[in-house]
């Protein structure tokens, strides 16, 4: 009886110790494990899906530039660092896991009213994609026109009334003329 208790106690101590020391050895995802390319198609209606060249972007920038603190790398954003310096790697790193695709649905808006919630202003999935991509492309001179990344579908052409030929539609640059 006595020995059994002792064993249990030791096991418990070890388990607690293990939990406490884990944050010190933060897991970091390896960029090589990332997919070569990602097809972003979950929202595609007015535009065709985007074939995102992940490998190219891994060369250009660091993981946390897009994935925030979820890949276990060093947290650089001051606002994230308030809480997430020791969060480690997240179970899932795809955008849609955290960014709601139906951002303005009544049910989701209700969850934002929780008084303890800090992330009251997390962009929806569409917003997250565009804010992240366009924001960086504006700064680095990447493509910023709508159809530079995804060409319009028939549904899109209908919505934007592209059949009207008033003046030739110029290639739009998000940064203006």
Partner 1 sequence: MKKTVSRRNFLKGGLAGTAAVAVLKNKESQAAHDFEGYPEGMGVLVDLTRCVGCRSCEAACNKEQGLPEPAKPFTDYSVFDEIHHGQKRRTDETAYTVVNQYDVPELDHPLFRKIQCNHCQEPACLTSCFVNAYTKTPEGAVIYNSKVCVGCRTCMIACPFYIPTFKYSSAFNPRIMKCIFCYDTRLKDGKPPACVEACPQEALTFGKRTDLIDMGRQRIRNTPGKYVDHIYGEKEVGGTAWMYLSSVSFDKVGFDTHVPKEPILNSVKDFLAMVPMVLTIWPGLFVGFHLLATRKENIKKQEQENDEKEEQA
Footprint on this chain of partner 1 (rule: CB under 8 A): 79, 103-104, 106, 109, 112-113, 120-121, 123-124, 126-127, 129-131, 134, 138, 144, 146, 159-164, 166-167, 169-170, 172, 174-177
For residues 34 and 14, what is the distance between their CA atoms, to the nearest angstrom? 34
- Output the six-digit token pair for 42: 């979950």
Contact criterion met (CB below 8 Å) for 47 and 151: yes
Q: What is the nearest approach in angstroms of partner 1 to the Cβ of residue 109?
A: 6
Write the CB contacts of 71 (distance below 8 Å, at least 6 apart in sequence). Answer: 28, 29, 63, 64, 89, 90, 93
Q: What is the nearest approach in angstroms of partner 1 to the Cβ of residue 110?
A: 10
DSSP code at position 111: H
* Nearer to partner 1 among residue 25 and residue 167 (C-beta): 167
* Nearer to partner 1 among residue 28 and residue 175 (C-beta): 175
* Nearer to partner 1 among residue 51 and residue 157 (C-beta): 157
* Nearer to partner 1 among residue 26 and residue 103 (C-beta): 103
For residues 6 and 104, what is the distance between their CA atoms, to the nearest angstrom? 55
């Amino acid at each position: 009886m006595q020995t059994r208790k002792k064993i249990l106690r030791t096991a418990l101590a070890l388990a607690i110790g293990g939990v406490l020391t884990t944050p010190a050895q933060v897991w970091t995802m390896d960029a090589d494990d990332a997919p070569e390319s990602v097809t972003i198609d979950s929202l595609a209606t007015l535009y065709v899906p985007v074939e995102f060249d992940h490998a190219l972007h891994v060369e250009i920038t660091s993981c946390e530039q897009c994935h925030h603190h979820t890949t276990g790398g060093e947290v650089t954003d001051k606002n994230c660092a308030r809480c997430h310096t020791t969060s480690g790697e997240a179970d899932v790193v795809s955008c849609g896991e955290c960014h709601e695709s139906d951002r303005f649905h009544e049910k989701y808006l209700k969850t934002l009213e929780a008084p303890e919630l800090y992330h009251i202003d997390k962009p929806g999935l569409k917003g997250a994609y565009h804010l992240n991509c366009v924001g960086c492309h504006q700064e680095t001179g990447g493509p910023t026109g709508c159809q530079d990344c995804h060409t319009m579908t028939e549904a899109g052409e209908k919505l934007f009334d592209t059949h009207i030929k008033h003046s030739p539609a110029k290639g739009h640059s998000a940064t203006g003329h």
